[in-house]
Amino acid sequence: MAIKSMTGFGRGEFEKDGRVWTAEVRCVNNRYLDLKMKLPRGYSLLEEKIRKKVAETHLRGRVDLFLSVSGDFSDLQEVKVNLTLAGDYRSALQALSDEFGLKNDITPQVLAAYPDVLKRDQKDEDLAVVWEMVEKVIDSALESCDTMRSQEGEALALDLIARLKFFEETIEHIEKNIPELLEQRQKHLQERLEKLLVNVQLDPARLAQEVAVMSDKTDVTEEIVRLRCHIAQFTLFLAEKSGIGRKLDFLIQEFLREVNTLASKINDANVAHLTVDLKSELEKMREQVQNIE
């Protein structure tokens, strides 16, 4: 199963027995699966089956499903005659005819013209038969939407891989510069001490101790190791393909935590610029991850 975006659109159409069924599916990102559907009147009993269908292809996201049907429904129309009421009308007309000596010319058409003599009813449909058609059109719409989501998901994955590579290269660059940075700080520390302690012989052991303390405060080995672990985990998640959005989002937060710690420990202008670049890249990655299912 390919990486999927939570954004997509699909449409399906199916025609049978003079009726045209149409289904449209629109989806956007959301933390959980939130399905909203609009069905024609009389088909609400199909909601649960439709929900199960959607859940087969959507793990999360806001999904709007619209189902409509048009065409010939004459086979569902039934005309009934209220014979009792028609008889009452006929008796009343006959009484008028007898009372006033009028010509009695009562025809079926005359009786049918009176209110409620003829009534048109809607027959109940066999929902098992209806579901066969509804299932086909919904499957078609979901498949179309799924294709679009997979295409966008692959594009998102390629973008994330490229940004992850830049992130990894920047971390390597920072790591390579740390020894030089420590050497410069050791030199600056010695120069400051010499200025402060003019004509005083510096104790090499004391200087080594101060350098060790400074090195310990500047040591970002743990942060770099963790960042590399996160990079490896991020890559593995991308290989899993399905349902990885939340995992990736969590890792982005962990990335930011380590980058912030790294920046505060080193406290160097050049490294600060690099960590700003890293945070900017992570923010772009977060935006992309927000759209992955």
Confidence label for 9 from pLDDT (cuts 50, 70 and 90):
very high
Least confident of 91-95, 146-150, 235-239, 241-245: 241-245
Is beta strand 61-71 parallel, antiparallel or unpaired with respect to 19-28? antiparallel
Pinpoint the alpha helices (H) of 197-268.
204-218, 221-240, 245-266
For residue 240, the one-letter residue type is E
CATH code assigned to 8-73+129-149: 3.30.230
pTM for the predicted model, two decimal places:
0.73
**What's the CA dihedral at 274, 279, 284, 289 to 10 degrees?**
130
| Tokens 């998102």 -> residue | 156
Which tokens sit at 270? 């050049």
Is beta strand 19-28 parallel, antiparallel or unpaired with respect to 33-38? unpaired
Q: Looking at residues 189-198, what average pLDDT do you find?
A: 62
pLDDT digits (tens, 9 = 90+) for 213-237: 555 556 788 889 999 999 999 999 9
Q: Tell me, letter by letter, the H, E, C secondary structure of 138-151.
A: HHHHHHHHHHHHHH
Residue among 278, 284, 234, 282 at smallest CA distance from 3: 234
According to the model, what pLDDT value does residue 63 have?
Answer: 98
Residue among 155, 179, 95 at smallest CA distance from 288: 155
Decide if pLDDT at 198 tops 70.
Answer: no
Domain boundaries along the sequence of the chain:
8-73+129-149, 83-116, 151-289
Q: How many other CB atoms are found less than 10 A from the CB of residue 98?
A: 10
Confidence label for 202 from pLDDT (cuts 50, 70 and 90):
low
Name residues whose C-beta falls within 8 Å of residue 50's C-beta, 6 or more positions apart in sequence: 37, 39, 65, 67, 134, 138
| Tokens 């294709």 -> residue | 147
- CA distance linking residue 77 with residue 72, whole number of Å: 10
pLDDT digits (tens, 9 = 90+) for 85-113: 989 998 998 898 888 888 888 888 988 88
- CA distance linking residue 86 with residue 119, whole number of Å: 12
Q: Which residue has the higher pLDDT, 156 or 241?
A: 156
Percentage of the chain modeled with pLDDT above 70: 85
Q: How many other CB atoms are found less than 10 A from the CB of residue 267?
A: 12
- CA distance linking residue 278 with residue 261, whole number of Å: 13
Rg (CA), the chain: 38
Cα 116 off chain centre by:
53
Question: Kind and range of the H or E element at 27?
Answer: strand 19-28
- CA distance linking residue 171 with residue 45, whole number of Å: 57
